[in-house]
Structure 1
Amino acid sequence: LYMQKMVFLTPIIMQRTALFVTFGGLVTSLITTFLPLWKTMNSDLNEVENWYSGLWHACLYTEEVGVQCKAYESIMGLPMDLQISRVLMLVSVGTGGFALLAAFPGLEGVGMCVGQPGLKRRLLILGGVLSCVSGLTTLAPVSLVAYTTVVDFWDEGFPDVMPRWEYGEAMFSGWFGGLALVLGGTLFFVAVCMADYDKRPASVPHIPQAKHRTKHYLKTEVL
């Protein structure tokens, strides 16, 4: 039963899993980048209005009209955390795409780079590195915006009657996408290590040499 379970844990399965996890993390990060739900605000004075803020748009939801979004007029007028988050999220999406492009030809069973196992191995390592970089560049801006949101929320300089920004759904999807990208890159490294372990030369079992048995006879003299 143990051997049957280990059959499913092969380098090919690990490579496919890493590619699937990386692709899922990339799609999630891409959606998070353009989703206008990074921060949300609801005023106690007017409960029918909900404000949403993202990296590119600010939206207002009312029961009468629905959702109305407007792009930011000036980049320089944005807070520094949003400007940094824009750049990092675009870098994340770009590196995640390059990670998939680099890792796909390195998969076993793919008819590319056939007969070049060393090149396939390097492509998988490159895909793993790019995927981890993409994940970190997703986690960094999401965590930065989360930090500034907490600082502004607990700022005692704001009057209590003023509405304050809170976490939106995009914050959690960004954390999930970043962790998925880091996990996918780690699985690429695990797949490479598993393939190297399977290709190791078979060790010759050490057979101890049989010692020659000698018989010792006790000489006795008969008087």
Structure 2
Amino acid sequence: MQRTAVFVTFGGLVTSLITTFLPLWKTMNSDLNEVENWYSGLWHTCLYTEEVGVQCKAYESVLGLPMDLQISRVLMSVSLGTGALALLVAFPGLEGVEMCLGKPQLRRGLLILAGVLSWMSGLTTLAPVSIVAYTTVVDFWDEGFPDVMPRWEYGEAMFSGWFGSLALAIGGTLFFVAVCMGDFDQRPPSVPNSPQVKHRAQHYLKTEVL
């Protein structure tokens, strides 16, 4: 279970990293000029034409960006940092790693902290993607724009961001499951001569007599 949690968390972190730098957060196709496709991301915009191919340009000013993109940049950076920290914290607490031998409570605490950090990484990935999705929907249905004007729509990076946040949340949950399984395995066995066992045995005997 610990290895599965690490694998799922690592996959979610890689997906969030790819999503952060993909210029496919929003796409726009013009009905007037069908050979041009515009793509917008957190760091640059791209234009695709059949003659030239893909041409990308970074944003000239950070302060000139819309507020949703500024917030998304910060949150995605936080997501990558917390996700990487979750893997680093979880590594010493894994079974088979000789870093915290003889310290089960420390291993347990490291896995719990890794689960919390993984959950934080998933939430900070979900938030910016959902914010950009909301603003895209609002702008798309804005009646103030003429119908002939092209409008931004969802790009592939939006769906990869949702998938990455889900994987990070699942990875954090699996860390908690691994801790619960470890607590169950370390639970002391019941003593055969304990009062509870004797009472249950007497109860079973009475049931058999009846």
TM-score (norm 1): 0.87
Shift of 1:112: 1.1
* 1:6 alignment partner in structure 2: none
For residue 52 of structure 2, what is the aligned residue in structure 1? Answer: 65
**Structure 1 CA distance for aligned equivalents of residues 171 and 34 of structure 2:** 42
CA–CA separation in structure 1 for the residues paired with 2:191 and 2:2: 30
Q: State, as a whole percentage, how many aligned pairs show the same letter.
A: 84
2:183 equivalent in structure 1:
196
After superposition, the C-alpha distances for 1:67-87 in whole angstroms (9 at most, x for unaligned) are 000000001110000000000
Show structure 2 runs of 5+ residues with no match.
203-210
2:198 pairs, out of 179, 188, 207, with 207
Aligned pair partner of 1:89 in 58, 76, 85: 76
Match of 2:41 among 50, 54, 67: 54
SS at match of 2:35: coil
- Separation (CA, whole Å) in 2 of partners of 1:20 and 1:75: 35
Q: 1:74 aligns with which of 51, 61, 80?
A: 61
1:128-169 deviation line (CA, Å, top 9, x unaligned): 000000000000000000000000000000000000000000
When the two structures are aligned, how many residues end up with a matched partner? Answer: 197
Find the partner of 1:173 among 154, 160, 163.
Answer: 160
Larger radius of gyration: 1
Please give the secondary structure, in 1, of the residue aligned with 2:164. Answer: helix
CA distance in 1, matches of 2:48, 2:99: 50
One-letter amino acid of the counterpart of residue 207, structure 1: K
Query: Quick one: which amino acid aligns to residue 45 of structure 1?
Result: L
In structure 2, distance between residues paired with 1:104 and 1:180:
18
Which ranges of 4 or more aligned residues in structure 1 deviate by more than 3 Å? none
CA deviation string 1:186-206 (max 9, x = no partner)? 000000001001111111241
- What letter is aligned with 2:55? Q
Q: Which residue of 1 aligns with 2:114?
A: 127
Of 201-210 and 80-89, more deviation after overlay is shown by 201-210
Query: Aligned letter for 2:5?
Result: A
Give yes or no for the alignment of 1:40 onto 2:27. yes
Secondary structure of the residue that 1:69 maps to in structure 2?
strand
Alignment counterpart, residue 138 of structure 2, candidates 131, 151, 173: 151
Deviation at 1:207, TM superposition (A): 2.2
C-alpha deviation, 1:114, in angstroms: 1.1
Does 1:108 pair with 2:108?
A: no
SS of 1:207's partner is helix
The AA in structure 1 aligned to 2:44 is H
Partner Cα distance (1:155, 1:103) in 2: 46
